[in-house]
Structure 1
Amino acid sequence: MANKTSQHILSTSANLLGFCLFIITSLHLTNRSENSLIDEFTSIVALSLTISSALSFFSIRTENHILEIKLEKIADYFFMASLLGIFVIIVFITFKFWLK
């Protein structure tokens, strides 16, 4: 088993996916989703985290070493894009409550 980051990507992206679903649920429960783009951005980040989780899982499960490296690299890119997306969402939420 040569991959070094797939196990970490899988567990961390699953945890961050829960964070994204919490944001979406809390926005809908407080009826703030109709005038906000935060839930749409969070949905995109959640989809990216789901793809990252799936790719890292397949990277762990595959026997083909070349495919393992490719899947791990793609999962890593999706994970980094998701982290950037979560940062943007947190900045949006901070400015939204700060300017209120």
Structure 2
Amino acid sequence: MEKKSSHILNASSNLLGFSLVIITSLKISKISKDTHLDEFAGVACLFFAFSCFFSFLAIRAKNLKRGNKFENIADYLFLIALFCIVLAVIIVTMKVI
């Protein structure tokens, strides 16, 4: 099985920045009081950050079994964070329509 930790690290760090941009723009425009969008983006930020952390640990692990465990944790955290971003996009879409 191919190691996917570097891909998870790359995607997580990029989407972490995207989530932080969402939170910053909501705070600047003072829209965050009206929606739960900033909460979903905040949770996504945490999961993306932990996903980055565990994928980095998977890359650096000397023990193959431990590296695979860290990679699986990073993979699941990334999936949960993506779900949070999808919820945020649904909220934005519902507010626009």
The answer, yes or no, to whether TM exceeds 0.5 is yes
Give the paired residue count.
97
Question: Do the aligned partners of 1:7 and 1:60 also contact (CA within 8 Å) in 2?
Answer: yes
Q: Residue 35 of structure 1: CA displacement?
A: 2.0
Q: Residue 3 of structure 1: CA displacement?
A: 5.6
Displacement over 2 Å in runs of 4+? none
Q: Which amino acid aligns with 1:33?
A: S
Q: How far apart in 2 are the matches of 1:33 and 1:75?
A: 29
- 1:39 is aligned to 38
- 2:5 is aligned to 6
For residues 61-96 of structure 1, the C-alpha deviation after alignment (integer angstroms, 9 at most, x for no partner) is 010111000000010000111111111110111111
RMSD over aligned Cα, in angstroms?
Answer: 1.2
Q: How far apart in 2 are the matches of 1:49 and 1:31?
A: 24
Q: Which amino acid aligns with 2:38?
A: D
Q: Which runs of 5+ in 2 are unaligned?
A: none
Q: Which moved more, 1:84-93 or 1:47-56?
A: 84-93
TM-score (norm 1): 0.92
Q: Which amino acid aligns with 1:43?
A: G
Taking the TM superposition and a 5 Å limit, the aligned residue runs for 1:1-100 are 4-98=3-97
Q: Which amino acid aligns with 2:10?
A: S
Q: Residue 29 of structure 1: CA displacement?
A: 0.7
Q: Which amino acid aligns with 2:51?
A: S
Q: Residue 44 of structure 1: CA displacement?
A: 0.4
Question: Do the aligned partners of 1:3 and 1:69 also contact (CA within 8 Å) in 2?
Answer: no
Relative distance call for 1:3 and 1:70 in structure 2 (3 A) is: farther
Q: Which runs of 5+ in 1 are unaligned?
A: none
Q: Residue 6 of structure 1: CA displacement?
A: 0.2
